[in-house]
Structure 1
Amino acid sequence: MNVSDEQIRTSFRKEQSLTSIARLRDDMGTPAPKRRKNKVITDECLIKLWQCYDEGLLDVPSFLKAAGLRIFQRPPKLTGYKIKRETQSSISNTNSGGTNSNPSTGAIVAAIIGASIGFVLLVCCCGILCTIFILIPSFYTRLKTPNPTVTGIHNVVASAYRTRESIFVPGTYASYYSKNGSYRGPFYMTLGFYNTAGYMVYGKGKDDVASYAIKGFYSPITRRMGLQLHYQIGTGDPDQNIGQTISVHVQWNEYKQQFEGNYYSSIESTGKNNHFTIKRH
């Protein structure tokens, strides 16, 4: 393949025209067309130029001008200052977590943190559910379990109602009282028990003194009675009956099946030796 000097000159003129066009484009402010850096000549043209140089048709300066000097230039060597500066820059980017960090590492770390938080939340939820399912049945069982104190109160109340039904029964009762060391009686009285009226007792009776009206209270829990015997003036023995009031305090004796206690007169000095007994007739 023979290349004449005229062809080489034509090639140089084309390059000069291209250079002038590029200079004119720069003066007009037009951006340069995009091209790959250091890519001046294609591989096919480079092979042809090399063949011309190998056959002695081109000298070294002509070959270098036609192929472009940048292809055969060595990369610039980094000085010690530039190496040190680039090393410090890379270290600072690594320490500060800059844009050079591997994005896959960040994704892995985020996934591990998310999994840890999810595991902790799962454990907490399981603990809360277990606590609820353990404490609620226990609390419900405790509510159903009867309290000994409350049970005792209920038993006392139930026993009181049974006592009221068996002891405080309306009807006729026989009474006895002691005076000056001797018992007198039996005398009869009629008693009525009214739990709806505040556990009050109403009745009447008669003894060796005179007739009397009865008013008082009773308690089915303590099994006690407190009675007031109001003697009616104009009845019985006028020497003994002056309208006095006798207070009787008695309590149920389960063994003897009777009420026992003392009485107190409003006109006489009486004490514990003045016994009073009420039996069911």
Structure 2
Amino acid sequence: MFLHIFILFYASFFHNLDPYHLIVGRSYSEGQNCTNATCVNQNTTKTWITTAGVYFIISVICCLKWWSGRPLRSNVSYVALSSNEIHEQEFYPFESGVWSSQYYQYDAWHGPHRLSLSFDSETLKVTGNGLDDIGDYEVEGIYSATTHPMGLTKKYRKGTGDPSQNLGHSVTIQVTWNTNQRHFEGKWFVKTNKYSGENKFQLKFEKSYEAKE
């Protein structure tokens, strides 16, 4: 809507039209002929500026569409550049075991769904698997033991779960530790040929493998 209004007034400014005349196709100079060189040059300049403006707007729309469903930073950059300060230095949230996750989509929370995560303190990598209302999936990612962010990639196994939702696609998840809530929170990002989007994501520890029933 904003872009439509912008284009309307942008064109009206450079073509001496008000919004009404632009819509109905009538200008203030209707019926007048532009014959002198100055007038022709001014109209040519206005045409070029208007064309450039339209191309700029189209480029912005294309960029926004391309970025939809994509994080601004890769998981590696997200974890490396995180400046989240953890005041409870003795608390270590990366414990291998059973976790639960939930994500926000279509104006509702989905979950919690259980998943298994294993953290390697030497390589700072995490792997796991789980099942949600879309299908079975594998998880791999990285994390920082000092600033406590995690960058995960959830890859669905095609042919499991909901066939209308499970395209065998990947979901990028970027979360940081919330000390007060005692869970990880952040966003998920999806980009496929049929859908693109992003929204809130939460990840909470349930129990260790030793306590697993």
TM-score by length of 1: 0.40
Aligned to 1:206: 131
Identity %: 34
1:220 aligns to 2:149 (yes or no): no
Letter in 2 for 1:276: F
1:269 aligns to 2:196 (yes or no): yes
SS in structure 1 of the partner of residue 196 of structure 2: coil
**Pick from 102, 106, 110: which aligns with 1:180?**
106
SS in structure 1 of the partner of residue 197 of structure 2: coil
Aligned to 2:182: 257
Letter in 1 for 2:148: R
Going by fraction, where is strand more abundant, 1 or 2? 2
Deviations 1:32-86 (A, max 9, x none): xxxxxxxxxxxxxxxxxxxxxxxxxxxxxxxxxxxxxxxxxxxxxxxxxxxxxxx
Query: Taking CA–CA contacts closer than 8 Å with sequence separation of 6 or more, which of the two structures ends up with the larger relative contact order?
Result: 2
| Unmatched tracts of structure 2, length 5 or more | 1-84, 207-213
Instruction: For residue 269 of structure 1, report the CA deviation from its aligned partner.
Output: 2.1
Listed as ranges, the matches of 1:30-41 within 5 Å are none
Deviations 1:150-172 (A, max 9, x none): xxxxxx9xx76x44xx3100010
Listed as ranges, the matches of 1:66-77 within 5 Å are none
Two-structure CA RMSD over aligned residues (Å)? 1.8
Listed as ranges, the matches of 1:157-196 within 5 Å are 162-163=90-91, 166-196=92-122
C-alpha separation in 2, matches of 1:222 and 1:269: 29
Aligned length: 119
> Runs of 4+ in structure 1 displaced over 6 angstroms?
none
Retained in 1: the 8 A contact 2:191–2:197?
Answer: no
C-alpha separation in 2, matches of 1:234 and 1:180: 23
Instruction: For residue 238 of structure 1, report the CA deviation from its aligned partner.
Output: 1.1
C-alpha separation in 1, matches of 2:95 and 2:180: 18
C-alpha separation in 1, matches of 2:159 and 2:108: 26
SS in structure 2 of the partner of residue 202 of structure 1: strand
Instruction: For residue 214 of structure 1, report the CA deviation from its aligned partner.
Output: 0.3
C-alpha separation in 1, matches of 2:204 and 2:134: 20
Listed as ranges, the matches of 1:42-53 within 5 Å are none
Letter in 2 for 1:175: S
